[in-house]
Amino acid sequence: MNRAAEFKKIVAQYCSVTAEDMTEEMRFREDLGFSSLDFMSLLGELEDTFDVELEQENAVQVRTIGDALNMLEELAA
């Protein structure tokens, strides 16, 4: 499974939008219904799954699926 697909599968645990229906423009809070704590929990899960370390201060700036994927790409590069 590629990174984007695995990422969307994790995000889908927190909302009722399926990984297949997820688009890069979707916003975590407004479109996917994430609470602030859902989002924090997701960040922790991303760290464990992709073996990266996220700076909480930067990570909380992420708004959309696309933002989060870009952040992961940069960290993994």
Partner 1 sequence: MGTIRELWDNALSKYADITAVRWLEKKEIKERSYKELGEDIMAIRKGLQAEGFAGAHIALIGTSSVEWIGSYLGITTGQNVAVPLDAGLPSEDLIDLLNDADAQALFLSPKRKDLAEQVRSQCPEIQKIWLLQETMEDGYATVEDLKAAGLDTADVAGRQAEEIVTLIYTSGTTGKSKGVMLTQNNLCENAASISFTAEPGTPVLSVLPIHHAFCLVMDWLKGFSLGATLCINDSFMHMVRNMGIFKPEIMLMVPLMIETIYKKLAAADPNIPPAVLAENVFGGKLRIIFTGGAHLDPFYIEKFAAYGVQVLEGYGMSECSPVISSNTPDDHKDGSIGRPLPNVQIRFEDGEICVQGSSVMQGYYHMPEETAKTLKDGWLHTGDKGYLDEDGFLFINGRVKNLIILSNGENISPEEIEGKLGLHPLVGEVIVTGENNGLTARIYPDQDVVKFKNLEEEAVKAEIQQMLDDYNRRQPTYRQITGLVVRKNPFHRNATGKIKRPEAELD
Site residues for partner 1 per CB under 8 A: 12-17, 21, 29-33, 35-38, 40-41, 43-45, 47-48, 54, 56
Alpha carbon distance 53, 47 (integer Å): 6
Q: Are 69 and 24 in contact (CB under 8 A)?
A: yes
Closest to partner 1 by CB, 33 vs 73, is 33
Q: Provide, rounded to whole angstroms, the least separation between the CB of residue 19 and partner 1.
A: 11
* Residues 6+ positions from 53 with CB-CB distance below 8 Å: 47, 75
Closest to partner 1 by CB, 6 vs 45, is 45
Q: Provide, rounded to whole angstroms, the least separation between the CB of residue 70 and partner 1.
A: 19
Count, residues in the chain? 77
Closest to partner 1 by CB, 19 vs 69, is 19
